Amino acid sequence: MASNSSLITNQKRFFYGPNYWKFDPIYQTNAKLFIKDLLNLKVVQFTEGSKITHGFFYGNHPIQEVDIIATIIAFEIINGKKSKFIKYTLDDGSATIGYVDFQNDDKLITEPKFDRGTVIRVIGILKDYNGKREIINSYGRMWDMKDPNAEVLRWLEILTLKKEVYSRPFILPKQMTTINNEVPPAISVEHESEESDPNTSISNSRIFERMKNFDNQSSPVTEEGFTSLITFYIYKNNLTRFSMVRIRQSPELNEFAKKVAINQYPCSKPNGQQVAALFNKALRMLVLEGFLNYADYNKISYRVDSLFVDTVKEWKIQM
């Protein structure tokens, strides 16, 4: 890996060294990205004398702290001699990541702050540890999200940021004051994103296959199976536009969601928050796949994408 204290170029992409990261507005904020994006951030090594610095980059934007909203799917309590912490496994629908919450006093940790199935917002520093990427929190910055639409609204916020902000390369202005008598490079380079974007639509054939081959009796009791059931429900009921309330009122969908929650969380009776999280995640995934679009400003109504409308209308005829 090439290294330099000020600039590294890589296949038309350029990376400024640590002295210049503070001039990127994104570095000064808590970056809002999908977990899948965080796992795919590029690591670039900079060498200055005997000092080696590693940086995480989205495009050529240096990323330090991140802000995510996700669901707790597991946790592990560690009461070691040198440190005490809870490691949560968080899932935002795109991927999972570990979130390490350190205990700052000498008391033993007996229970987590939040249980499985809770949707939380966390802010922390991104680290690589033992070959795995994690978010480290040492300031208690984690909150229970009471708004059932919090995850969906965050996804929309991220998509907007990626389109209007993160996709634009970080370029220092030519007139910027030099640092340590070094003239900072100002290079105009076409931005080429290597990150895997969860907003990229999957093959349309996958959605049609869901409809064609779905069998409610043998469908796996998983989140993927639940998403398939919702797709099948939309086709079966000839829906081209509907509200979240319409979907949530289906006894068939609710019963299946409860089964998935029981498999996912060690409980005999899932709570309403866990079931609601499954509905939100499934519908959000169908939006990301391109099957559904949001139909109102508040993002609580959906419409079937025009590519699939004719198939939906013909579904009743084929039943």
Q: What tens digit of pLDDT does each residue of 84-106 get? A: 889 999 999 888 999 999 877 77
Question: At 156, phi and psi to the nearest 5?
Answer: -65, -40
CATH classification for the domain delimited by 66-147, as one of 3.40.1390.30, 3.10.180.10, 2.40.50.140, 1.10.10.350? 2.40.50.140
Tell me: pLDDT of 122 over 90: yes
The tens digit of pLDDT for each residue in 30-83 reads 999 999 999 999 888 887 777 888 899 998 899 999 999 999 999 999 898 878
Domain map of the chain by residue range?
Answer: 7-64+152-166, 66-147, 204-318
pLDDT averaged over every residue in the chain:
78
Domain 204-318 architecture: Orthogonal Bundle (1.10)
Of 162, 157, 164, whose CA–CA distance to 193 is shortest? 162
CA-to-CA separations, 57 to 33, 45, 63, 135, in angstroms, rounded: 12, 11, 6, 15
The tens digit of pLDDT for each residue in 152-202 reads 888 888 988 888 889 888 887 665 545 555 544 433 333 333 443 433 333
The tens digit of pLDDT for each residue in 255-287 reads 999 999 888 877 778 888 889 889 988 888 888
pLDDT above 70 covers a percentage of the chain that reads 76
Query: Helix or strand or coil: residue 255?
Result: helix
Q: State the DSSP string of 117-154.
A: T-EEEEEEEEEEETTEEEEEESS--EEE---TTHHHHH
Residue 204 structure tokens: 């349309």
Tell me: pLDDT of 318 over 50: no
pLDDT at 312: 62
Residues 6+ apart with CB under 8 A from 290: 201, 202, 204, 207, 305, 307
Residue 161 structure tokens: 């940021």
pLDDT at 66: 95
Residue 229 structure tokens: 């059931």
Tell me: pLDDT of 19 over 70: yes
66-147 and 204-318 share one fold? no
In angstroms, the CA 254 to CA 135 distance is: 33
In angstroms, the CA 317 to CA 197 distance is: 37
Prediction pTM value:
0.59
Residue 208 structure tokens: 């049609």
Q: State the DSSP string of 38-94.
A: HHTPEEEEEEETTEEEEEEEETTEEE-EEEEEEEEEEEEEEE-SS-EEEEEEEE-SS
- Pick the more confident residue, 9 or 122: 122
